[in-house]
Copies of this chain bind each other. A is one copy, B any other.
């Protein structure tokens, strides 16, 4: 069959082997194997530890792929070598607060975009709306201080809501957060691109391509596992803070001294005028748009264990700093925009921050570029927060069986590869569908976040209630979290109502769908697990010689190999030949007598030319004769030399396999026949 000399294949590593065959120990067959020392380390009897060598490809093509892979995402990391790099308040602010702080880059603008629909005069409401949102933020920050202390191992809303309110609310929070993370990536990257195109207008036409490009960069970066990158993170966050404070201080000084420069609105504005009335709904919509400012607040309480001890204190400090920085920048931008009379660009070609900067420091000055580029960088890094959080949450949900198991799998660098890929794909799809427009994405964004906030805070109220006997001051703690829950719940309702027709309906449909899906997945996994579990006293399944059928179309080498294999596994082998041509049947019968050895041949003549149906009917007939015994079908499959030759072979084997796979009590064996390379 395989004419080559076995000795020619022996490897120098074989020197390590001690025995060629296994031996019997009592009634058990034991293979004593001493595999190559470079590939496995013997840990104990029957316990080998694979070295990184087993992952090294051997062929030249494989090695090239491996090289590219390593350049792109780096060396593999063993599970035990996982580093949980801890951060102090300074790095912590950069890592966990960038998402929230970056919202200041578009929050004021989104308020103004809604208000201006009622005309320039309505922009006077920008500042009051900002103040209300900052007040809500203050409540949320204080409320989350308690979550940090109560959940030093990380208090994401899924954890807090599941533990205190039960599975249902936990799943609502999980679905809301998954949706939210996808939107965080899409919105932050769209806003980052907008910051860039404000100073490089030539890029405006390419904003979708640019956005997807940033997603790809984040995808690759996260496949590396950007854990060690807090230093890189710190830079744009602090550059943004310094540059923004400089700009705001300069502007406020001008405002105080009455020396604010003249503002020239974007050209598109001059053609459009506000037409809607300034009703309550419009004000609520403005508030709903601006409350995007609170997104990202949860990152800190999620990440408590990543802080250096004292963890809760450091995390609490970062949360306060984050709120303070964010609120002051947000207020500053809204204040100066009102003072200058800025109007948002209806074409979304120039952001409000860019208008502010160019009015204060001059268009195209280095400081204008500094503001725009640091804003863009910060926004892309904010998207990265979601790239860390989404795969982790999906991994937890995978472990709890609410998502497919694959989400649990951690790649060569310990990153949750599947979650990262799924997030990158979904965010790219959003950027393409919404053509990279922040304003179109915003209505979808905030509903989910505030639902999760509300559930998390409500869970905290329950948490304190449960601890009422052991914890002093549980009343005021519960009251604080209760205030947070009421405030965020109100915002969730306002956002849902005010933005419903603009896109929030999609999220309000998606979240229940996701919950249903997760529930169905969990039910399925549990039911399967239950069905497959082996009861302690249950007898082992019986060992019975299989009845073997070998479909034969031609009497060639693959067929003879399949027959030899079939005879090696059972004494009850029948070959079956299906054909509609009597002459060919006669030829087969004669060749069979001459060549095939001691196996019975059954010929199924098929006048209607069907191949599958007679074979399946024959298998049924055999099965009926002895239903308890498994039926085994041995198929020979030709392995062509090149993949493009596949369509020329094995079509019948493939169809038969698909049909038999669904047949109970049937096992299919593929005996591949590899074409010799010379032929």
By a beta-carbon cutoff of 8 Å, the part of chain A in contact with chain B is 1-2, 6, 9-11, 13-14, 17, 19-22, 26-31, 33, 35-36, 39-40, 43, 46-50, 52-55, 76-80, 404-406, 409-412, 521, 524-525, 527-534, 540-546, 554-558, 560-561, 564-565, 567-574, 580-581, 585, 589, 595-610, 613-614, 616-618, 621-622, 624-628, 630, 637-640, 645, 647-649, 651, 661-662, 664-676, 679
Contacts and interface: CB of A to CB of B under 8 A. Distances in A.
A552 to B, nearest CB: 13
B546 A29 contact: no
Given A546-B568, A669-B667, A672-B666, A31 B618 contact: no
Contact of A541 (B43, B79, B560, B570): B560
A97 B13 CA distance: 74
Contacts of A14: 624-625
Contacts of A20: 625-626
A416 to B, nearest CB: 11
Contact of A679 (B1, B55, B527, B570): B527
A679 B19 CA distance: 47
Given A14-B624, A35-B617, A46-B600, A530 B564 contact: no
Contacts of A608: 50, 52, 55, 76-79, 412
Contacts of A628: 2, 6
A627 B10 contact: yes
A533 B675 CA distance: 12
Q: Is the interface of A mostly helix, strand, loop or mixed?
A: mixed
Given A31-B602, A33-B621, 5 more contacts: A2-B665, A39-B621, A50-B614, A53-B617, A667-B670
A570 B528 CA distance: 29
4 closest A-B pairs (Cβ-Cβ)? Answer: A35-B621, A531-B679, A1-B541, A569-B569
A473 B505 CA distance: 88
Nearest to A29: B572
Contact of A613 (B1, B50, B614, B627): B50
Nearest to A679: B531
Nearest to A649: B528
A411 to B, nearest CB: 8
B601 A46 contact: yes
Nearest to A80: B607
